[in-house]
Amino acid sequence: MQECYIKDFPDKIDQEIIIKGWVANRRSSGKLSFLILRDGTGICQVIVEKALFPDTYSEIKKLPLESSVIIQGRVVKEDRAQGGFEVHASHVQIVHVSDEFPIGKKEHGPDFLLKNRHLWLRTPRQIAIMRIRDALIRHIRTYFYTNDFTLIDSPILTTTCGEDTSSLFSIDYFDLGKAYLSQTGQLYLEAAISGLGKVYCFGPTFRAERSKTRRHLTEFWMIEGEMAFYDHKQNLDLQEDFVSYIVQNTIRDKAQELAVLERDLAPLKKIEAPFNRISYDEALDILHKNGSNIEWGSDLGGDDETVITRLFDKPVFIESYPKKTKAFYMKQDPARPECVLCADLLAPEGYGEIIGGSQREDNLDILMQSITDNGLDPERYDWYLDLRRYGSVPHSGFGLGLERTLTWICGLTHLRETIPFPRMIYRAYP
């Protein structure tokens, strides 16, 4: 007798096998009971014939949903069944009779589902999203590997901060005072390029923002790449190649799961380099023509991004932001010192920013000035300034938000379903 998984059924036709899983659904019709079994690799229909189970049929027939069972039976090809196969049971072992499962077929509100995230994860849409996430992450890592990047895991606990210092989570770090949860690994990656050339990190990052929007999580995963001797243009070329690669590979691999989500793949199939590139100034022109009165020097908001992305069917880079809207480490444009050599990449269909990137300031004096101008303590950045003292080079990098990218690929409206256990300002349980 061979234990197997549902995904292996094509190789098991007419064989007697054992499968183990959960009753995702069931129905009965007189002398037959049909159990829809989920084993983590797929779904199949199990047919339990009353005549074969004189003692236990009545219990099997009423088995609560989500009960766990071990089924022995024969695999039969059946095109009408979900997945194309069914199992004719010869033995049914009930492992655990479930309490009444709280998530049913009726609509539940997001609050109820998030409170029951540990159970919600068993339902078909959530399983599909988790599998797409898994594939997306794999393709991201493969891209970096095949392009000669070395993984450098940047620290989470840090005393040097890369982004907005007003949205930091802090902890008491033994006798050293406060430490903070990392918002970016970039500064650390910049240290690593001198030994390794092209490096990346991929880990959780944290923002203690009181933002209650569909685009914000307090804990999310970010992929950051940093490349020695790359200028701004090479940085954008790499980003569009990267994004095209991960989108095309993920939708090819996970077509079945994207179908569960009813995602229209047509817009995603168009995602290939080159992407559109417009300047911040051009973006402002577009917004003004659409009735906005945004002033030069303001950062773009989520609604502004939505307006712009709807004009393009591919992602669009917005380049050359005013220096004062961006982080201290971005390189001042020598031709236009009030702007920096940066770009945000906005995903189409209204999704908005998925990447922020820039060439980095490699001049020691300008960088020191920039740290001071931003009200930061130069002493905390002394090690970072060292990188401009010992063989400074032109270099660039970018960070891609995993959950924002996944929300776009899956065609969802809210980030909260794209991470196994979402953390928001009002939620850190389960």
Contact (CB, 8 A) for 89 and 73: yes
Per CB under 8 A, contacts with its own copies among 220-249 are: 221, 228-229
Which residue in the set 387, 400, 406, 415 belongs to the binding site for its own copies (CB under 8 A)? 387
Interface mask toward its own copies for 347-386; x: CB under 8 A: ---------------x--------------------xx-x
Query: Which of residues 218 and 276 has its CB atom nearest to its own copies in the complex?
Result: 218
- Using the rule CB under 8 A, is 165 a contact of its own copies? no
Which residue in the set 80, 105, 106, 210 belongs to the binding site for its own copies (CB under 8 A)? 210
Which residue in the set 72, 108, 197, 272 belongs to the binding site for its own copies (CB under 8 A)? 197
- Using the rule CB under 8 A, is 417 a contact of its own copies? no
216-220: list long-range contacts, CB under 8 Å, 24+ apart: 216/415, 216/424, 217/403, 217/415, 217/416, 217/419, 217/422, 217/423, 217/424, 218/169, 218/423, 218/424, 218/425, 219/419, 219/423, 220/401, 220/402, 220/403, 220/404, 220/415, 220/419
- Report in angstroms how near the CB of residue 280 gets to its own copies at its nearest: 29
- Using the rule CB under 8 A, is 36 a contact of its own copies? no
- Using the rule CB under 8 A, is 250 a contact of its own copies? no
- Report in angstroms how near the CB of residue 276 gets to its own copies at its nearest: 27
Query: Which of residues 192 and 271 has its CB atom nearest to its own copies in the complex?
Result: 192
Query: Which of residues 233 and 423 has its CB atom nearest to its own copies in the complex?
Result: 423
Which residue in the set 33, 45, 158, 396 belongs to the binding site for its own copies (CB under 8 A)? 158
- Using the rule CB under 8 A, is 219 a contact of its own copies? yes
Which residue in the set 12, 26, 139, 198 belongs to the binding site for its own copies (CB under 8 A)? 198
Per CB under 8 A, contacts with its own copies among 111-130 are: 116-119, 121-123, 126-127, 130
Query: Which of residues 125 and 414 has its CB atom nearest to its own copies in the complex?
Result: 125
- Using the rule CB under 8 A, is 394 a contact of its own copies? yes
Contact (CB, 8 A) for 302 and 294: no
- Using the rule CB under 8 A, is 159 a contact of its own copies? yes
- Using the rule CB under 8 A, is 1 a contact of its own copies? no
- Using the rule CB under 8 A, is 104 a contact of its own copies? no
Per CB under 8 A, contacts with its own copies among 276-315 are: none
State the angle between helix axes of 124-146 and 232-253 in degrees (0 to 180), rounded to the nearest 10.
140
- Report in angstroms how near the CB of residue 281 gets to its own copies at its nearest: 31
Residue 251 CA: distances (Å) to CA of 2, 26, 377:
33, 31, 45
- Using the rule CB under 8 A, is 390 a contact of its own copies? yes
